[in-house]
Amino acid sequence: MNVQQANREKKIAKFGVKLLRTKLGKRGTVESIHKYLESSGDGISNITKWINKTGNNIDVKYQRKRFIETAELGLWLFINHDLFRPMVVNLVNTLTKYHISENDLPRTELTSIEKVIINKVMLYTSRNIIEGRFAGIHADMMTCGNKAIRFMLDISLSNVESLNLDEDMQTALVVFIECGLWTMQGDTAYRDPFFWFTNKVGDSEIKHLIKQYPMPLVRHPKQWYTNQFLKGRKATLKGRKEGTLAPNQFSTEEALFVPGIQKRLLNQSKR
């Protein structure tokens, strides 16, 4: 993953989420959305439960918060919007072990004006992403060798095509889906939680495809990249404070995550 590219897309998405919550007011608060999802029938409430269980296993506070709140906002938005509601039902029934119908979902809370606001924010955000380096993200996704990700992508894009959307909104959905899956499979902060969550809620085919990957995609939360990094960082700070490490030294645990150190060790191993 291109770090600069990922950071740019994250900033755009973060701004879009903030703008959306501001425009929706009380209805768009974290508490209001979570309460709505918990009362949205067994399938959605179970998925919500696993979103929170997954997020709560992330030791880094801001990443934990972002994972849970962004996932819940996206789910709530698609359930509440008449244009996207059928897609939620199809994706849950196709990609997860849960089965729902539109009748299981509570009535939409959104007013016509709020739906227009959501549409405008989605279009604005997607256009900013496209104007950046989306072409590179799209190319990555079209040649993705991860069969589980590819399966989720193909099913999602097929559902987008089946919706009654104008070209701009269809493009926006494609951008969000591809950027989301691209980030989840390549960003070290969210890769481990995403596949752990997917393995918990996914159907048998998803689980089978995850197992086919050459390296383990599902790891125990204690082994997640972010949790290991935080553990190493704490060891470094403790060592520097106690004087067992110089101010510019890293603990053995954190050294695994310092690019400069790893590059030096790699070069030494080639001699």
CA 180 to CA 73: how far, in whole Å?
A: 14
Greater pLDDT, 187 or 207: 207
Greater pLDDT, 17 or 58: 58
How confident is residue 268, by pLDDT bands cut at 50, 70 and 90? low
- Find, among 75, 214, 98, the residue nearest to 148 by Cα: 214
Same domain, residue pair 58 and 8? yes
Give buried/exposed letters for 90-121 (b at 16+ CB in 10 A, else e).
bbbebbbebebeeeebeeeebeeebeebbbeb
How confident is residue 113, by pLDDT bands cut at 50, 70 and 90? confident
Same domain, residue pair 100 and 132? yes
**Six-digit token string for 262:** 């790893």
What pLDDT, on a 0 to 100 scale, did the predictor assign at position 271?
A: 47
- Find, among 179, 166, 95, 82, the residue nearest to 137 by Cα: 179
| Least trusted range by pLDDT, from 30-39, 58-67, 137-146, 248-257 | 248-257
Same domain, residue pair 64 and 165? yes
Task: Evaluate if residue 269 carries a pLDDT over 80.
Answer: no
Same domain, residue pair 235 and 107? no
Same domain, residue pair 124 and 257? no
Same domain, residue pair 147 and 183? yes
Domain that holds residue 207: 3-220
Same domain, residue pair 214 and 247? no
pLDDT mean over 187-195: 92
Same domain, residue pair 128 and 237? no
Same domain, residue pair 208 and 241? no
Same domain, residue pair 121 and 73? yes
What pLDDT, on a 0 to 100 scale, did the predictor assign at position 267?
A: 62
pLDDT for 55-102, tens place per residue? 999 999 999 999 999 999 999 989 988 889 999 999 999 999 999 998
Highest mean pLDDT among 22-31, 33-42, 86-95: 86-95
Number of folded domains that form the chain: 2
The share of the chain scoring above pLDDT 70, in percent, equals: 93
